[in-house]
Chains A and B, each alone.
Chain A
Amino acid sequence: MKKTLLRLKLRLLITPQSSLSKTLLFTKITILFILLTTLQAVAGDANAQLVTIQMKQVLMPNVFKAIEKQSEFRFLYNYDLAALQKKISVNLEAKSVPTVLDNIFLGTGLTFKQLENNLIVIIPIESSESYEDRKITGTIKDDAGKVVSGASVYIKNKSTGTTTNALGQYTIIGEVGQTIVVQAVNYETLEVIIGNQKSFDFVLKSSISNLEEVIIVGYGTESKRNLTSAISSVKTRDLQAIPATSLSNLLGGRAPGVSVTTVGGRPGTTSSIRIRGASIGPFAGTTEPLYVIDNIIATKELFDLLDVNEVEEISFLKDAAATAVYGSRGSNGVVLTKTKTGVKGKPSFQFTGTFGTSSEVRQPIYTSAYEHALLINQSIKAGLDPLIPNSGQGTTLIPENQLQYLRDNPQPNFQDAVSITPQFKRYSMNTSGATDVVDYFISGNYADEGGTMPNLNYKKYGLRANVGVKLTDNLKLTMNANVGNDIDYQYYWPYDPESISDSYRQMGRRGNWVPSFINGLPVANFNAFSPADFALNNGNGTRTRKTNLTNSTLSLDYKVPFISGLSAGLTYNYRVLVNTNTTWQKPNVSYVFEADPNNPFKLTDKIVGTRTRVEGLNGNALTKSSQTDNSYQLNARLNYDKSFGEHSVKAMFIYEQAEANRDFFTGTRRNLLSPDVQQLFATSPRIEDRDYTGQGFEVGRLSYISSVSYNYSERYFLSTSVRQDASVAFIPGKRYGTFPSISAGWIVTEENFFKDQRIIDFMKIRGSYGTTGIDNITGGNEYPAYSYLTGYTVQTPANSYVFGDANASATVINVGGFPSVDATWDKTNTYNFGADLGFLKNKLTASFEVFKNHRYDLFAQRISIVPVELGAAPPRVNYGIIDVKGFEFSLNYKGSVRDFTYSAGFNIGMAQDKLIQYDENPLRAYNKLTGYNSDRIQGYIADDIIRTQSQLDALISKGYKFNNNLPYLGMVLLRDIRGNATIDPKGNTPDGVVTPDDITWIGKHSSSPINYGLSLSFSYKGFSLQSFVQGLEGFQKMIPATGKFYFDNVGEGGWATWNDAFEPDTNPNGKMPRFVSSGANGDPTGQNSTFWLRNAGFARLKNLNLAYQIPQKMTKKAGIKGASVFYNGSNLFFIYSHIKEFDPELQGEGLPINRTHSVGIQLSF
């Protein structure tokens, strides 16, 4: 009896969950296919099973128990039913269960219904007769007006229950006086007593507590309430409207302890993700977290290829208890991604379209030609290079007539000359749904983004089908298939082909002296070439990168019927990733135009010279490269999940194997026959104009993963896991590594002694300890470097040698260094302590974590012990140690007043590394790295500018010199703090002169140790507003070269801040140093010093989203189920920023981050 009650309780516990969560659960409840056949046979048809019941004078539930023992059936009933209290006798032999039941219910007023999963529900006869009369229908929406599908609707204390379909509709049978209960994950539970109404619409309030949320964890899901490890999770529903082309760009500041850095404003740019300040300091290795998509190990590239609309959730696993199941590669944290699956109900169809534009957030302002001419004249008057006697002589001032001309005829610099307003568009559509047998999610997406300069474009396409089929009640087959494709197109910039930021920087400080183009032709009068021409007309060619992904996963999940709680599963994934690159380089042609004889800046349109520039050997060539990765991952799982009264046990065993290989090929052919035919065949056929090479890689990994977790009464939790991995990165015999973890949690508020107080509604404390590793100890690509082998490398033709009259290149191979035969994993011991709290009926929740990651066996040479005469770097060994310590804190509040709901969230994470063990032998002890964080900033200490002659005279009389040079008026005064290393080994005795000995640590951090995020959202009826602020703190940045160097040549320009340069007579209080000459070798002004160091802390409104749901009345006529329109703004403004000149998230020189405005529409059918 107790068992039956428990069962009922369980039934109710399961029912409230959305079918989505069910699917998640189902995925987790997996099988080993070995058991498949045996169980499959039994599961064939329960109705065909025959039972024998011979019982006398027993209560009816006893009969049900007997049937349960002999068959697969399970019973559900309300124990209060009077008929069940009657004692009966049964004597039936080898009968089917329905026959038995028909027999025993005869005359009891009871009947039964067979449900899925061999469940038999026992109900009174009358309820089934008047079914239609007591049918109650309705729609369930959330407080934002969105329909809630998959919500559970049931009659209180009865077994009757259902779930809402995709439109949020439900139908249920109920009687007057009974209570309808509506439950859905992440929403508050609602109840209503049935009166005469036949229709009830519900509006669910978002669940106040985030604690019950179910999030994805390694190889499964877990409710936040029961977590004992450090995991931050981001549900993508709030991110859908943000028009970012890559997933990583959406995540900045969203999760504490996860640092997301934007690298620039180029279309298709992705952001880097680092978890808990992962650091390798001066060692080899990687700080990149592991990416896992739908339980398959992936890469950052594949992660960014996903469209936000196909993603359900992203979890960041931060401590070893969470990541140890990814042992050999989990040291830097894990980014887990789950794509969407179908939710039960009628097919739903959704379309989202976004259109927008972008502009540069903040870019440095450059001097105009006129302003710069004045500065150049100033520097000439001062003597161009104050450190070289007479250096200004022989150089003539820019005369007055030319100055006037420049003032009256301002020209745009190259940046402005090519600036455009780009467009982007993004479409996505998906359909999803589920029946008892099939669930599906099918989507397609397309994004097209232009840049703020011409000839920059990024396009992305994706198609996905996630389909699950229930083959039998216990066996499910799932197929996830997707193809992805992106195309990144740019003009070619030969000096840094990987980035166009350098091109942007060059354009900024050039080109405003004469027009950038005359009659559309690039002007080269003051420049060797025109960077603007590169951008505007593909003046040096183009570069196109394409990615093609084909990815499929087939999974079988099996619930073992005869061992309750046991399930098994098998997953096979196959992936083909093809990356192709096409680079077309062409000679750049620019023109020198005739100038007015008295004014070189006044140009006519007559061409007097042509400059043709062929950049390098391949300056006129087409290069195509192709890299194909084939990989598979196979994973077999056995899960056990069962409760015994107050005791719950979960166990998992997984075997995983994965192999991958890469095939790389690249070929170049030079001298295109025509720039219009950009094909390899249409080039010079000569043998010396062809160049190609290729390479292969392969890798294999084996893993055994097991974990056991136990909880008592959902109050005390204990989990352990062990993963064993073999990686081919290490020598046979050293390939296996073992990575254990343990964690525990205690929900204090469950204790009786805590129940009486009203302040804290929920409190959990938890702790974890574990070890993880990294097999990518050399920090290469995802294929291991065989550091234990001596290998010979074939040199490129440019590094070959030439013999013979034919001048043929001879093959050159060279031996590598010493093999690292002892190479092994670099490992991390992680300690994590956390607490989760709920207040105000859990409307206010808080989480706090402190952690320490002790990373050891980092890979590097032990430099100090091996003499140079050895002739090779000693083999690298695993010896380095780095600790990272930090904390994370988050606070969330959700509330509502009638139709107005609001929520606020704040999270902050701090992490700082410290080098514990590193071989170093610095000349001076104070240069030591050991004992400090790895991102300190070096430079001189600056004491303002030398502003007066008396100041200068005093310095000269004291013998002050900078690198053997005398000081001069208007220079940045660098402080003397030390003497020469041999004279002043301790580095505390100033010697009167400033030399590199005086360089010291002037900045604590070059990257932000503190990341925080703040979110506020409101909704009222159809309107909703979400805003999100991201902030970085605790770090400094140096003004970049373009801001601090003198560009004293005609044709150049610098930052407009130079307009306030010190001049002894005219501008004695200028903020900038005196503008002198770039020729000043070792000039103190241009050195890295505190003069140029700025606090880089900032916070910006990262995102603002305003949406309006058009009332259904209006859209229904058009056949549209739901429609909403929205505006989205990204990077709209800074809340504060100490650096005013440039975007502190970047370096101040490259292509700035973009501010975007977009509008969109979302339709559902």
Chain B
Amino acid sequence: MKACLLIEHTVLVFNCHSKKKKMKKISLIKYLFLALVTLFTVQCTKVLDKTNLSNITSDKVLNDPLLTSANLNRLYRIVTPNWPVGTSGNSDEGAGRNALMYGQLTDFSQTLYAGTYTNIREVNVFLEGIKAGTINKILADPMIGQALFLRSQLYWQLVTTYGGVPLVLNTIALQDEYNLPRNTSTETVTQIIKDLDDAIALLPNSYPVLEFGRITKGAAMAVKGRILLNFASEQFDPTQTKNRWQAAYDALVLAKTNLDVNGKGLNASFANLWFDDGSGNKEIIWGKLYNTDMFHSRDASVRPFQPGFGGGRTDNATKRLVDDFPMKDGKKITDNTSAYTYDPIIFWKNRDPRFAFTLARNGSNYPIKDPEPFKTSAIYWAFQNNSTNAEADRSITFTGFQCIKAVRVDYDQNQARQSTVLWIEMRYAELLLNLAEAANELGKGVESLTQLNNIRQRAGIENRNGRYGLNAGIESDKNAMRAAILLERKIELAFENKRPVDMRRRRLYSSMNGTERQGYFITKKAAFDALVTTDATILSDRKALENMVLAGTVDLNNPSIYQNYFTTQIYSVETGSDLPGQIGIKINYQDKYYFFDIPQTVMSRNAKLKQTNGWPGGSFDPLQ
């Protein structure tokens, strides 16, 4: 603007001059000049009149339902859990050589604190924005409900990791006093439940099919039940004196009622559960869909190792998990009353049908799309040095198993890195198991049995004793029923990050301490090497065996035939043990891990924070 004044001023100067002098060409130049001045003046008023073309400003967002909704989608993005990959190693279901299990965690290992508060701020900005804006209540309410639900999940992540945390329910302005103390765990959970209750009041029972995946009233109710179940468990109440089970039970019953009315239930097929990702899959309560834009690479991680693609050593089932799968009639493998005999050599025979849909083992059918020469037929091999490549030999499974749950066998390696297999964070089966557990703690064992039967029926277990192999009288033995429920959870929800949560929730790690997780060490025998004598490579022998198995001339389900080709040894899969006979590091999960310490970087910036009990300088009791 200053420039414009200058120009105007000089115009006057110019006029004075022009009157004084006699001039040639004056008129032409005068007009040229005036044109330039005009141009100049017009230009300079706009020079600093610029907008941010690479951003959308907040005033536009809060008054526009579409933009607000797009902001809500962001909250889904940052809150909804992804496919868990490799978390089985933090429990007894999978192999995992990590510091957590060995009690070797360094201080301040759990770093989700700061990121979670960043996400909480995004939710708070959203909630304040939608309340300040002009969006119609009919549109706004369900959105507020979803945001409250998502905020509750953020606080749940914090409280289950650290114990109670400061509650920030509004955006903090910079001039505020923002050194907040920790709320107790009870206060935190109370606020979580309040958010969920508020959400339940605002959320619809269902959405149009194109909005499938959003949080419904029933989903919020089911998640509320899950949280109350957790809160009633030993993690928050080790001595079980507070009797919080009733609240959990009530919430779960209400949730089930709502979900049943709205068409939810168990998917008919356990095997196809993960591949049916639309509103037609009635088992999805809270799920995350993927597509070619937004995909995950979990498939690539859990598939057999391929040079250049990785995989192989993620989510390898321990022998413990393998043994926990019942026989086909629902009886334990150690139970003599089973109609089927357990054979430790061909241990896969006549097991719970979920076994084959969860695990691939040496010689099993796993028609995954991997190229030659690593894969030449539909058969999966887990014996040592089965590959043509030294790199692969050192990277095959720890335990003799690959997880095949929810793995798309029709994917090739490249597609496996861009998997669109759905993740179900909360499925109807879990709701039933949660209900069973809460009911049992309240002495309603019959109700628990009903739910277990539902699960085991869908699993395809033979119902020979009217209770799918479960012992008679279990419904009146609270402890036996509790064990059966936890075992059922372990089988049904294997590799879905539920077992590590259960072990933490019910403080089960002490039972593992001092032990080593085990796997199968499978080696080929001379008869295998002799399969093709003209060619010394493993590959040719392997192909020959595959041909015979597929042609039916060799039956690997026959223990003596299997043993003709392979030796099976059991060995420790912990750090330090790579071969049978070696001793690995013992599990040593520490008591203080049930509530972790708050990171130093967080503590140092807020003087009012107290460290969690059990950790250096800890004075905060997470059990309050």
Contacts and interface: CB of A to CB of B under 8 A. Distances in A.
The residue in B25, B293, B576 that gathers the most chain A C-beta atoms within 10 A of its C-beta is B293
Most chain A CB neighbours (cut-off 10 Å) among B17, B179, B289: B289
A698 to B, nearest CB: 5
B573 to A, nearest CB: 14
A864 B605 contact: yes
Given A702-B48, A809-B291, A815 B210 contact: no
A807 B291 contact: yes
Contact of A37 (B14, B61, B69, B292): B14
A1050 B390 contact: yes
B201 interface: no
Contact of B56 (A44, A794, A871, A1050): A794
Interface stretch (B36-44, B230-238, B244-252): B36-44
Contact of B210 (A38, A619, A790, A808): A808
B73 A728 contact: no
A41 B24 contact: yes
Given A42-B21, A697-B54, A801 B76 contact: yes
Interface centre among A38, A42, A794 (most CB of B within 10 A): A38
Contacts of A565: none
Contact of A812 (B21, B77, B180, B309): B77
Contacts of B51: 698
A816 interface: yes
A789 B52 contact: yes
A865 to B, nearest CB: 8
Contacts of A814: 71, 74, 122
A847 B607 CA distance: 56
B373 to A, nearest CB: 4
A390 B56 contact: no
Nearest to B55: A791
B371 A657 contact: no
Contacts of A140: none
Contacts of A612: 371, 412, 414
Interface in A614-639: 614, 616-617, 619, 634
Given A44-B24, A802-B294, A870 B117 contact: yes
A790 B57 contact: yes
Interface in A25-61: 32-38, 40-42, 44
Contacts of A805: 209-210, 212, 278-280
Q: Among the interface residues A617, A792, A798, A799, which one has the most CB atoms of the partner chain B within 10 A? A: A792
Contacts of A121: none
Interface string A697-728: 11111101000000000000000000000101
B77 A38 contact: no
Contacts of B389: 525-526
Contacts, number: 306
A863 B55 CA distance: 25
A269 B363 CA distance: 55
Contact of B178 (A608, A614, A797, A867): A867
Contacts of B119: 871
Contacts of A921: 604-605
Nearest to B11: A34
B26 A41 contact: yes
A33 B33 contact: yes
Interface in A804-828: 804-816, 818
B43 A657 contact: yes
Interface residues of A, number: 105
A8 B47 CA distance: 47
A568 to B, nearest CB: 11
Given A34-B10, A700-B47, A700-B48, A608 B209 contact: no
Contact of A659 (B18, B47, B278, B578): B47
A793 B55 contact: yes
Contact of B57 (A389, A611, A789, A800): A789
A1098 to B, nearest CB: 38
B21 to A, nearest CB: 5
A802 B18 contact: no
B138 interface: no
Interface in B410-465: 412-414, 417-418, 420
Given A799-B294, A810-B73, A792 B67 contact: yes
B108 to A, nearest CB: 11
B565 interface: no
A813 B291 contact: no
B582 A390 contact: yes
Contacts of B347: none
Contacts of A789: 52, 55, 57
Contacts of B124: 871
Interface in B43-94: 43-44, 46-58, 61, 66-67, 69-71, 73-74, 76-77, 80
B23 A41 contact: yes
A795 B277 CA distance: 24
A1155 to B, nearest CB: 35
B512 to A, nearest CB: 22
A871 B576 CA distance: 42
A869 B70 contact: no
Given A702-B47, A1050-B390, A869 B3 contact: no
A403 to B, nearest CB: 15
Interface in B114-138: 114, 117-122, 124-126
Given A611-B371, A812-B74, A870-B121, A38 B178 contact: no
B73 A800 contact: yes
A811 B308 contact: no
B308 A611 contact: yes
A528 B52 contact: no
Interface in A378-411: 388-391, 393-395
B319 interface: no
A38 B290 contact: no
B76 to A, nearest CB: 5
Given A34-B11, A389-B576, A702-B47, 11 more contacts: A41-B23, A527-B308, A608-B373, A611-B308, A659-B46, A792-B55, A792-B67, A805-B210, A811-B73, A868-B117, A871-B122
Across the A-B interface, the 10 shortest Cβ-Cβ residue pairs? A528-B308, A871-B121, A791-B55, A41-B23, A797-B293, A696-B53, A597-B536, A867-B606, A614-B414, A804-B210
15 contacts: A37-B26, A38-B17, A44-B25, A613-B414, A657-B3, A695-B53, A700-B46, A793-B56, A795-B77, A798-B293, A803-B213, A803-B289, A813-B70, A867-B178, A875-B174
